[in-house]
Chains A and B, each alone.
Chain A
């Protein structure tokens, strides 16, 4: 029962959509802002907490997760519905002191939590622009190494960042500098990530913290443009036959590659799950491509891999995903996110391991490119570059 990284963070996309619609503006006057922290073994992980008339938000800069809250005379209780997690704190004047709790099959997880009210709004930590840019990090665990890329940049509301592995990014990080120590973190109500580092000459040396206690040491050097991560187009291999699929849509109708809407078109196949935050980012980006190129012959089809495996439940989740993002293309229920289901439903792919995985089909229906993972908006320039790259790919395929 391995916890998938950043799994089931559906609320994030939902919440951002709500902000875009201005749905929360009426409760803004009741909002209270808190400078909050989890006290990990490796030091404090800072985040912003907002308690508002309609709910609460746990924020890493501009990226927030939704929570509910209740308060009585001397305690505040935040519940994070999608994660079965709660934060319970005693209220003392303008402070909260308590604990974050959730229960998994391996038992309870308990992490000290504190916050203080910040009536003047969020304080902006000073920027350290000399650290900005892309860093090639090497994590070392028990003598084995694995690559990551750190992206540090001006996030508008302070220092922001991203951590990218071979299968995508970990969500938005926000950062600050305390003395010599750089401290970047991400907390969405369940996933707890932080890296602390100091600059030693031209090398960042530090520790990556996951959860309360796990610590992994790393070094990072400025990216040179040389390959560090496995390129996303090399992660998954495809055969050369026309791509075939046959799944049911959300209304139960069978849809295949022979549907007239796909014939002779350039098709993007989005292998996704509503539980995967990065998939929300990717679908939003694909919508931009669809808007630009649909008139010239681009089609998109989404193949959903949902956790419950129950058709009614999965269809409901995917429908919500579709409606929140306003996706105009067919979304089909393809399977569940495990190796057996993936292999059974995608016999033309080898090493389909990342969500999302994006397939580009030429007008002849053959897979011309696979792309594992996605660089979300948290990655800044990498996100912009990826969208430009996808656009070029679509332009090229349309022109053939």
Chain B
């Protein structure tokens, strides 16, 4: 039993970091613009399908495909921002307006993907040696380890970016006080478009590596990742990108450990019960209201 628990903890950490990065992208977008990107999971799903496509058509492996996915999603994010978000921000209730708009966008994306690739699940043959590896007495998915390693590197780059670069500091400033940045000479429109690009880039990276972690890619998978992303950002603290990593780890650990004691079907329920409990104890999330 002890081994099983340790195995579940290890799996939870591996998955948690992945969830955290999904949440970080959503949280940057929400924090900077107060825009609720309800199509976040669908963007992840597009990245997964693109990687599948690159693999089938051009024999490009998921890691190499990041060279295409990263700039593609960053630029797409900036374009989507300029097409949609400034109008939403003029609304009297940007959060509700953006929620409805992006919910519509998520439906459109799902429908288009369904037309393009059909409803059957797609998957990749694992391109990097054996699908599972042994560490001590534990067997773990090689794909999850690769995904975890990449997510950790990206999280570290994100920390460096947010705390050491002009754009990162400007993003932190705008998350804290959108009005104040205007009077200190920072262009909120420019920073917001870059932040949207970064948000989509982060979810694009995760989506590109999802085929290594979970076998089936389907047009309907986006909704569940959107839900995970929202839970993660509420757990970690709304508007705090680094809090999302903590939220992701809590979510991943709860989900995995609960499978040891409860039927598999109940594991998402336990995660949401954890969410409710944490909100009751600390409504602002783990790092909400403390981020500097």
Do A and B bind?
no
Seen from chain B, the residues whose Cβ lies within 8 Å of a Cβ on chain A are none
